[in-house]
Structures are given as C-alpha cells and as structure tokens.
Amino acid sequence: MARGFAAVPRARRFVLANATVPAVLLDEPPTSADGDGLLAVDLTVADGAIARIDPAGCRARLPKLDLDRGMVWPCFVDMHTHIDKGHIWPRRPNPDGTFDGALAAVAADRAGWDADDVARRMAFSLRSAYAHGTALLRTHIDSQPPQHTTSWPVFSDMRARWAGRVDLQGVSLFAIDAFLDEAYARDIVATVARHKGVLGAVTFMIPGLDRVLRRLMAAAADAGLDLDFHVDETGDPAARSLGAIAEAALATGFPGTIVVGHCCSLAVQRDSAATAERVAEAGLKVVSLPMCNLYLQDRAGARTPRWRGVTLVHELAARGIPVSVASDNTRDPFYAYGDLDMLEVFREAVRILHLDHPIAAWPAAVTRTPAAVLGRPDRGVIAVGAPADLVLFRARTFTELLARPQADRTVLRSGRAIHRRLPDYRDLDDLMGGAP
C-alpha cells in the first residue's frame, strides 16, 4: 500500500471499510465466507484496539479508510528462527549448500561471536521482521559452551528492548548427546530457566536416545520449561527421533508444550502413519520450515533434487496436530536467502507444500496456530478488544496476494501505521569485513 499509511486516519476512532479477511483469522469465524474462506468486513478501530467487526457496508459515522476489498491480516507469528546466526553469509558462506557444509561453516564462524556481533545481527533481523509485520518471534540460540554464556544475556537484553514491537521467545540449541554431560545439562537448564526461555536440542539417532530424552524431559518438567526440538532434518528413513520424542512424552507424561521442527525424514518412511498417530497421541506441535528444507535437503552435487525435503503437513494436520510454518534461517550457511518476511514464507509454503485448493484454513499456520502453540492466543487473530496490530494489503484474493511480494503493504501497530523502512545490508559491512 505505497499510498497507504498517510491515508490511515489519525482519529481516535475510525473504520477500515470494505476489507477482505481470511475467516480463519477472525476470533469467531462466521459461516458466510466464500469458497476460499474470505469474508468482507468493516473493522472499527478505537483507541488502538479493534472495537467492532461488522459485515462490509456498515454506516458508522466515523472517519473511514476504504480498502477497496484489500486484505487485512493480523500481524504474523514466526515461531522458528535463528536470529543469533542470521546474516553471516557474506563472511561465512556454505561451500556446497549441503547440511554438513552448513554445520562446518557455522561452527567456524561461531568462534568469533562476541556480544556486539550477536546483538547487532539480532537487531538487524528484528528490524526486518518488524517492518514486514511480525509481532511475535521465537528464536533458537546456539548454546554450545561457552557460547551460551554470551548469547543468552544478549537475547534477554534484546527481548527487553523490543518488547511491544516484536515479542521474543528464546530456545536453547545444542546436540542431544551434549545432555549426557551432567555438568553441562545442569548449566544449560539453569541458564534457560534464568532467562525465561525454552529448553531445546537437536535430536538424532544416538545410542540410548530414549533414556536421554526422558532425562531431558524430567529436567525440563522440574524447571517448569517447555521443549522445542530440531528433529530428523534429513532424508534418511532411519532417522526416527520424532517417534522417540512422542514415546518419551507419553511415558513421562510431560506436562508442558513440546514443539518438533523439520521432521523431514517422516516423508520417506513407510510406517509414517503409525508415527503420526503417536505424535497426535503425545500432543506434539509441528513446525515445518519449507524454504530452508527445500534448500538443504537432497543436495548431491550437480544432480537435480528428487524431493522437496519437507514433512507430511497435510497428513499431520488431518490428525488434529497443530501445524505451523516459519522462516528458519536467514542469510547464513543453512539458508543463503530470506528476510524474516512471513508473507514470503506463507507464499512459498503454499507452493512447496500445496496448501491450496482450498487455501482457506492455512493462513492460520503463520498467525493464530503458532501463537497458540507459543502460549500467546491473543496474537495472530482479529478479535474485538485485541490491539489493532494488522497488516493491510492491496491484494483482494489469494491469487493476487501470493502472485507478488506485496512490498507495498501497510503495517498497523495499535491502529497506527509504522514506517516500514527495512535495514540496509551496508549496516553490517564492518562485521563482514567490508563491502562485498
């Protein structure tokens, strides 16, 4: 909406008239939506909050912005990111685009991550997310010792600085076998608890995985922590830690929320239906990272990839499992691209995962579904009484919305349009060793 934010009324009360809203994003979805799940409404904003939601054409005698059927979404929720390692690509590219290449490149670069380096790259990432319309973001934080002693205090400071603009949640990230070290296990649990974070690890098939998972779940339960795992990010059908997590959760009766991300190998396992049933029974929440997985999975030299690298989102959702999609990495060795733009994530997810025909239910995957999983059901919905934190698009239909980047969108926070200036990559040149 290039002509947009200057036209948003500055009045205390006003109407966003003739808007198109995905019905699934309304707090109380009506039954009168069209075949794509879209509904025409007028939204009354008062004192920075949504005061009324009426069928389009209401006769309120208030200042109006006629959106001419343009879409209105709530601000986005990005529940799986890595803003502590974002934007290091210029100084540490992935030599071959593979998962192993990414691991090696990040490990080499991490040796130079002091507090200033991490803070500036985090802030750059958050400026991008905010400008694109994200209001709630969860980031994984590399927590291999001694990095956790640097990055977690930086995260806590960033969370305080960005409160009210982008609400932040942090998750530890370490290899599951690191939890075998009792001293480290105590230290990382205490660190995460002290910084009010979430306990997370990368799981893979190690001897005694079931035992380690149960021990980790017991430690998290004792500390009152939720869990968020990187799971089976591979095309190897022998990677079955997703099922192990489900079994451990059922065996321990873990009381908190368990998020499982990636789960790529599920798509190449013959008994995937049985695993999906156990995931549903255990109450796990799934997040797919389609852009990063498409980039990394099934790379083999000059050979064309044979699969898309993503998990079974339709089959999981059909079993009532909450399924979200998120950004994952941005401009680092795990993904050379990305800008924490959740509309881009949704657009590419629709194409990669076939979230269409109909699309109707899937806008929730970048809004209300991850918000509920992250314990913030107040986010990601358009509801009477909720803050008028909204994203306005000129696009009127899904085919218009997803055909273009929507760079002219308008983002409202508490009913006021923000200045959507994206940070310049030149701001990081000194961290990267100079201009490219």
Name the residue ranges covered by the structural domains of the chain.
5-74+380-417, 76-373
**Tens digit of pLDDT for each residue in 48-80?**
999 999 999 987 789 999 999 999 999 999 999
pLDDT at 337 over 50: yes
Amino acid at 65: L
Q: Which two tokens stand for residue 298?
A: 């099934």
Percent of residues, the chain, with pLDDT higher than 90: 94
The interaxial angle of helices 115-132 and 342-353, nearest 10 deg, is: 70
Asked if residue 129 has pLDDT above 60, the reply is yes
Dihedral angle sign, alpha carbons of residues 9, 409, 31, 385: negative
Annotated catalytic residues are 233
Per-residue pLDDT reduced to its tens digit, 72-108: 999 999 999 999 999 999 999 999 999 999 999 999 9
Q: HSE of 51 in the Cβ direction (CA atoms, 13 Å)?
A: 13
- What pTM was estimated for this model as a whole? 0.97
Domain 76-373, CATH 1.10.287.110 — does that match?
no
Query: For residue 112, what pLDDT band results from cuts at 50, 70 and 90?
Result: very high
CA distance 202 to 224: 20
Instruction: Give the C-alpha distances (Å, rounded to integers) separating 195 from 64, 85, 376.
Output: 44, 19, 18
Q: Is the pLDDT of residue 1 over 70?
A: no
> CA 376 to CA 43: how far, in whole Å?
22
Query: Could you read off the pLDDT of 342-378 as tens digits, one per residue?
Result: 999 999 999 999 999 999 999 999 999 999 999 999 9
pLDDT of 2 over the 60 cut: no
Query: What pLDDT score was predicted for residue 114?
Result: 98
User: Which among 314, 313, 253, 249 has a CA at the least distance from the CA of 279?
Assistant: 249
Number of neighbouring beta carbons within 10 Å of residue 6 = 10
Residue 7 pLDDT level (bands cut at 50, 70, 90): confident
> How high is the pLDDT of residue 32?
80
Helix (H) or strand (E) holding 22: strand 13-22
Count of alpha carbons within 13 angstroms of residue 372, beta-carbon side: 14
Q: Which of 142, 175, 102, 154 is nearest to 331 (CA)?
A: 102
Asked if 144 contacts 174 with a C-beta cutoff of 8 angstroms, the reply is yes
Q: What distance in Å separates the CA atoms of residue 33 and residue 258, rounded to the nearest whole number?
A: 33
DSSP string, 235-260: S-TT--HHHHHHHHHHHHT--S-EEE
User: What angle (nearest 5°) sits at the alpha carbon of residue 155, between those of residues 152 and 158?
Assistant: 155
- Mean pLDDT over 29-43 rounds to 87
DSSP state of 364: G
Task: Indicate whether 327 pLDDT > 70.
Answer: yes
Diameter of the chain measured on Cα atoms:
69
* 5-74+380-417 carries CATH number 3.40.50.2300: no
Instruction: Quickly state the pLDDT bin for 3 (edges 50, 70, 90).
Output: very low
Q: What pLDDT digit, counting tens, does each position of 253-284 carry?
A: 999 999 999 999 999 999 999 999 999 999 99
